Amino acid sequence: MGSESRHVCHILGMAVFVMSDLELPIRGRTYREPEGPHSVVVRGRDLEAGLQHAAARSDCRAVAIVGMPKEDRDLSVLAGRRLFLVDSDGARLRDFAEIALRAEADVEWIRSATPPFDRLADALLPVGAIVLAAGSSSRMPGSQKLLLEFDGRPMVKSVVEAASDGGCHQILVVYSSEDVRRVVGGDAELVHNPHAHTGMASSLQAGLRAMRPDMEAALVMLGDQPMVGSRSVAMLTRAWRREGARPAVAVSGASGDRWTPPVVLGRELWDELMTLEGDSGARQVLDRRPELVDIVPALDRLDDIDTPEDYAKIVRLFPRPKPTPGS
């Protein structure tokens, strides 16, 4: 096998094994028995084959069933795995979901005649968020910039909220300052980085290490980009889950030909990212190998707040509403 073939194998992500006659334009789709960790999509009429597959493959992480089978099934083999159910018959859907819950599967269901792509892809390819919030604020004298107010709350909380409302399955905040830890509180999982002074790479790696095993990608967000909202988060994860998407998906910067955070990083990139050093993070990999990243148009302003002038600019753009009389 030549070096080019080895490179292609290296960047392949988790497969989605479609075991029935379904057309799904989803990332990693295959109709052949996959190697390595994967998810399965199967029609209810073919569920027996799907259950046999899950019993034989401990690396089958999730199963989606489209259309419930007429007969009940023993779903014990799905204990501890994600299960997504789609059916237009609400009563049958609830009954089958109860069977799955008793089998201790992690169940989600939706009443629909056809599998909605976004919901199905979200269930089979979960994405977590890493909010990088361990910087020293060295260019913002006298302030921890992430605690500065934006839209009525500390800006780092705006970023956490965008990740949550955008549908991320796990949200981590990598911090070094106790003030940031206190402000974030229970709104996200907190990951302390005692090596933050060495640069952004160490914070990215701390976040990747803390990602749950079932997360197939990490959306990396900057704690000082408070104008990035939930629609950008949803757009990026949706683009990454589409069939044919590259291992990374980022938004275009001001020049249009250079990407900028936030960026989705597929798990197949993580090993290489764990070798990085310094302050440039994933850019060390993706700028050197642009064939690994898709760049999509930005939906929100991408300003990052580094200086008092930067902060004054967003305050002018988004002034705090004046209180009404008597409030």
Distance CA(75)–CA(47), nearest Å, equals 10
Terminal Cα distance for the chain, rounded: 71
Mean pLDDT of 145-154: 90
Amino acid letter at 34? P
pLDDT tens digits along 233-291: 999 999 999 999 999 999 997 666 689 999 999 999 999 999 999 888 899 999 999 99
194, burial (CB in 10 Å: exposed 0-12, middle 13-18, buried 19+) = exposed
Is residue 274 within 8 A of residue 202, CB to CB? The reply is: no
- How open is the CA angle 8-9-14, to the nearest 5 degrees? 115
pLDDT tens digits along 160-204: 999 999 999 999 999 999 999 999 999 999 999 999 999 999 999
ω before 262 within 30° of 0 (cis)? yes
148: number of Cβ within 10 Å: 19
Distance CA(54)–CA(74), nearest Å, equals 12
Q: Does residue 140 register a pLDDT over 80?
A: no
64: number of Cβ within 10 Å: 27
179: number of Cβ within 10 Å: 13
pTM over 0.85: yes
Is residue 75 within 8 A of residue 52, CB to CB? The reply is: no
The mean of the pLDDT values for the chain is: 90
pLDDT at residue 142, as a whole number: 63
CA distances from 283 to 236, 257, 266, 293 (A): 17, 14, 14, 10
Q: Does residue 311 register a pLDDT over 80?
A: yes
| Two tokens, residue 297 | 């148009």
Distance CA(127)–CA(135), nearest Å, equals 24
Q: Report H helices in 103-154.
A: 117-124
Q: Report H helices in 139-229.
A: 155-165, 178-184, 200-210
Nearest residue to 125 via CA among 65, 207, 39: 39
| Two tokens, residue 273 | 């990212």
| Two tokens, residue 265 | 């990083």
Domain architecture of the chain: domains with CATH = 3-123 (no CATH), 126-312 (3.90.550.10)
Distance CA(60)–CA(38), nearest Å, equals 5
Q: Does residue 63 register a pLDDT over 70?
A: yes
Give the pLDDT band (50/70/90) at residue 3.
very low
